[in-house]
Amino acid sequence: MAAEMEQNGLSANTKASQEWFLEKVEEMADMKTSRQQLKQHYPIAKRQIIGQMFMFFYSPLTKNQLPYYDRFPLIILLEAQKETFMGLNLHYLPIDLRQELYYRLLPRATTTEFNNFTRLRIDYSFLKSRRSLKAFKPCVKRYRYDQMIGKMANVPANEWELTIHLPLALFRKASQERVYKDSRLIARRIN
């Protein structure tokens, strides 16, 4: 996608590229690309770097107690420990809030080239301290490595913008509409 974008004379994170991405997303939605095929498109993460974007299949240990969950999280990694990691699962936000949060986080990128070294300089403390980023609240999730199905795929920084627009969420136990409604309510809370 990035190469195709360059052929069209577009650079990442501009108004023209956003419009181009939206057209591509509509095309991809019509193609019904499987999540497995998409995950295979991205490189397997050799290591997890805080502030980079990843996707993976997941089956929560406590799925019976959860009101709903996403089987195919798309996260920005916030923290990694020995057995667990915390991520900002963007699938929990409707596209308007997802875009708004993503574009508010972009100034925290470590490079403007959006290459393999790019990451967002964010962590949970940073998100909590910024009132303008309150949409992050419904997205923060902790995951267990032993509950992942297969390997984690790294989403290259030059494809972040496209990937956040793709309809990849795989919610269980509730509809996407319900998840989005709950997320809007959580994001509006003051505390």
Average pLDDT over residues 88-110: 95
Tell me the mean pLDDT in the region 163-178: 93
Q: How confident is the model over 113-153, as pLDDT tens digits?
A: 999 899 999 999 999 999 889 899 999 999 999 999 988 88
Cα–Cα distance between 8 and 2 in angstroms, integer?
Answer: 10
Domain count, the chain: 1
pTM for the model stands at 0.80
Tens-place pLDDT, residues 35-79: 666 656 666 777 899 999 999 999 999 999 999 999 999 999 999
Question: Averaged over 4-23, what is the pLDDT?
Answer: 52
The 3-state secondary structure of the chain reads CHHHHHHCCCCCCCHHHHHHHHHHHHHHHHHCCCHHHHHHHCCECCCCCCCCEEEEEECCCCCCCCCCEECCCEEEEEEECCCEEEEEEHHHCCHHHHHHHHHHHHHHECCCCCCCCCCECCCHHHHHHCHHHHHHHHHEEEEEHHHEEEEEEEECHHHHHHHHHCCCCCEECCCHHHHHHHHHHHHHCCC
Task: Determine how β-strand 69-70 pairs with β-strand 171-172.
Answer: antiparallel
Structural domain including 52 reads 2-188
What was the pLDDT predicted at 5?
Answer: 45
